[in-house]
Amino acid sequence: MPDARELVALGRTGVRVTRLGLGCAPLGNLFHAVDEAQATATIDAAWEAGLRWFDTAPLYGFGLSEERLGRALRARPRGEYVLATKVGRLLVPGIEEGAMFVDVPPRRPVFDFSYDGTLRSIEASLERLGQGRIDVAHVHDPDDHEDEAIAGSFRALRRLSDEGVIGAVGAGMNQSAMLARFVERGLVDCVLVAGRHTLLDRTAEEHLLPAALEAGVAVIAAGVFNSGLLADPRPGATFDYEPAPDPQIERARELDRVCASFGVSLPAAALQFPLRHEAVTTVLTGARSPAELEENVRSFTAAIPDDLWHALSRACGLFAKPAEKP
């Protein structure tokens, strides 16, 4: 069984992360508001559990997640934790209508993958976090901005890496094809792939994971519950941040039934599955309360028999690989 507190190298960088990290999008009021005290208590619970790996972004709560994380970590020894944030969206004054984040400051994100915009983004994140450096900086969701990101953001981040302002250059996306291209071009030290190496979606296995393994690039697995369905496969659950269609719910329920026959929870299998591929270094999972954090840690460290994995792989259609846009 995995050890959530185990420190492992993030690829060929000098950065070392715990096997399990805290994704801080929920602490930026994703879908539901979390008050400051609860956000701080959740980060404190992660620390008490031995987690030393925290991931945030300007998008999460339009700066609120970075601010909360920075305040919660400020009294902690800086050398004892790893902090990741992202670039690609600058925050400007205004109101974002229909956002997934609620009760947020009066700011809205605008895409900017330019060289200068990336430098401004890092400067603003350092201020919100109250930090002098960032351990990992990811280019965030450059789906429709690939050329600009290559010419601007990656060049700026590599300069900041050379200057010691950041420790590792990465990219974080909800797709794997573009991440594989970044790996093959030698642009990244690590990649964060969300929702594409899970029990319900294994598209990252096609190209990204083999390419990363060959290049010595660390893979960070996130979105392992596919935004909720694999945590609780019920009607109304979300899959990739949208209401899950009925066939997907039934697939998740079948996974749940197979897991239950071995006395294992579906969330435990979902959290541990990504590490079965040797390219994956660490798993990130979100939590909005100490109770959720503690349950995630229990699931991540639960004993799972090998026979369960064999049973899941034999279950017809459970490991289909959905088509992904190139």
The reply to whether 10 falls in a domain is: no
- How much is the pLDDT for 241? 86
What CATH number is given to the structural domain containing 143?
A: 3.20.20.100
State yes or no: is 321 an active-site residue.
Answer: no
- Choice among 35, 44, 81, 86 that is catalytic: 86
The reply to whether 58 falls in a domain is: yes
CA separation for the pair 42, 288 (Å, rounded): 7
Confidence of residue 259 (pLDDT cuts 50, 70, 90): very high
Question: Is 320 a residue whose pLDDT tops 50?
Answer: no
State the residue range of the domain holding 64.
16-169
Neighbouring C-beta atoms of residue 131, cutoff 10 Å: 18
Please, what is the average pLDDT of the chain? 95
Confidence of residue 99 (pLDDT cuts 50, 70, 90): confident
Question: Is 315 a residue whose pLDDT tops 90?
Answer: no
- Do the beta carbons of residue 8 and residue 32 sit within 8 Å? no
- How much is the pLDDT for 218? 98
Range 223-239 average pLDDT: 93
The reply to whether 78 falls in a domain is: yes
The reply to whether 142 falls in a domain is: yes
State yes or no: is 81 an active-site residue.
Answer: no
Centroid of chain to Cα 66:
14
Confidence of residue 325 (pLDDT cuts 50, 70, 90): very low
Question: Is 57 a residue whose pLDDT tops 90?
Answer: yes
Range 103-128 average pLDDT: 97
Q: Could you give the angle at the alpha carbon of 109 between the alpha carbons of 128 and 75, nearest 5°?
A: 15
Cβ neighbours of residue 323 closer than 8 Å, sequence gap 6 or more: none
Cβ neighbours of residue 154 closer than 8 Å, sequence gap 6 or more: 139, 169, 182, 187, 188
The number of distinct structural domains making up the chain is 1
- How much is the pLDDT for 98? 82
Range 76-91 average pLDDT: 98
- Choice among 60, 112, 201, 256 that is catalytic: 60
The reply to whether 109 falls in a domain is: yes
- Do the beta carbons of residue 282 and residue 19 sit within 8 Å? yes
Cα–Cα separations (whole angstroms), residue 241 to 127, 160, 178, 231 = 29, 33, 20, 13
The reply to whether 152 falls in a domain is: yes
Range 20-44 average pLDDT: 97
The reply to whether 297 falls in a domain is: no
- How much is the pLDDT for 317? 52
Range 116-120 average pLDDT: 98
The reply to whether 49 falls in a domain is: yes
Q: Please name the amino acid found at residue 21.
A: G
Query: What percentage of residues in the chain have a pLDDT greater than 70?
Result: 97
pLDDT digits (tens, 9 = 90+) for 275-314: 999 999 999 999 999 999 999 999 999 999 999 999 998 7
Helix axes 177-184, 208-215, angle to 10 degrees: 20
- Choice among 3, 35, 44, 55 that is catalytic: 55
State yes or no: is 55 an active-site residue.
Answer: yes
Range 155-181 average pLDDT: 98
